[in-house]
Structures are given as C-alpha cells and as structure tokens.
Structure 1
Amino acid sequence: MSGPRLYTVEEVTHQAYDIFLELAPNNLSEKDVEDFNEFREDLGFIEEDEPDEQWHDFVALEIEPESFVQVLVGLEFENDDVLFAKILISRDKDAPFCHILWKESE
C-alpha cells in the first residue's frame, strides 16, 4: 500500500491563494481588501513554508510537515510588511483541509 496522494507544494499554494481571494471580502476590512487589490501586483507576496507551532493553538490535528503547508499572503512595503492571512492547507488529495488566520481589523 502506498502513502497518501499529495498535491505539490505549488498546487496547494495556488489553492490557498484562490481560497484567500474568495474569502477575503468577508474576513478583512474594506480598506485591507482595497489596499491588497491596489498593491498586490507590485508589492504582494505569497510565501509557503512548513507549518509553525502556532497552529497547535487553533487546530486539533497532528500537523505533519510533509502533509501540510503554511501559506502567508500579504504586502511587502519598504517600512513594514502587512500580513493579511496565514493559511494552513493540507496536501493530501483525499483529506482536504484549510484553516485561515485573518489579519485583525484595526
């Protein structure tokens, strides 16, 4: 028997970004959405990495680094980065999972 069927990191990063775009208007302030839309082409970033320890406070899952990816979506300004969403997404094609920590409204 083989292991789980996994999406590539690139595939789940694209999925996470699509989910971010779909849900952002309901989870970010109007100003944050406007800022992101205005500046994303020049200053936007999407970074993927291994999930950090913070997720243990939010999800009751065993987070195995080979099965999950953490994706950060934000804007990179000269003086300060703005992180709009921190996303935990599963690479397992048979066990979809996504959890998003949204930027708090100011």
Structure 2
Amino acid sequence: MAITENEIRIRFAAPATDEARTAIKARLATAAEELALLVHELVPGSREESEAISAVELALWWAQAGVDRRYVPRAKPLAPADAEAACLAAMAEADIASAPGRL
C-alpha cells in the first residue's frame, strides 16, 4: 500500500485519549503483561527469553498505536451482519483512497 498524505497525518497525530480507548488499551496491556510473565516463568533466562518479552512489548506498542490511530467509537454495538458490512465498506474505502486513479 502506498503511503498517502492522510496516512502520514494519521501516523503522526497526537494520540487520541478517551474513556473507550483507555479501556481497550488497558485490556491489551493486561494481556501482554500476562504473556510476558508466562514467558519469564517458563523460558529459562536467556537471550531468547529477552527477545520474546521484547516482542510482546513491541506487539503491545503497535496494538495500542492502532487503537489510538484507527479506533472509531460507535454509539451502540453493531449486529454481526452489520459489522461485516461496515468492515467491507471501510476496506473498500481504504483501497480506493490508496489508489484513486486505478478505478
């Protein structure tokens, strides 16, 4: 995917913080901490342990960045069929935005 000016603005915008995003990011952090503690418990102290914990940290960072950059709060949860339609529409919109001259 080619990087657009809009994508650059999204990537470098100040993180949005609201109650919904904070709650999601806290859930992610809790799960990542649990996994890192499990790795520490089960993997002998080594470079591999360190790399695994660093990878968990990096995954958390990217997941939280995705929440900050892409999360769109909804007034009410969508039904599964509506959620799938919304996802497909968003994917099509992103595809069109990435290469408008292609269509």
TM-score w.r.t. the length of structure 1 is: 0.26
Flag the structure with higher strand content. Answer: 1
TM-score w.r.t. the length of structure 2 is: 0.26
| Relative contact order higher in (CA < 8 Å, ≥ 6 apart) | 2
Larger Rg: 2
Flag the structure with higher helix content. Answer: 2
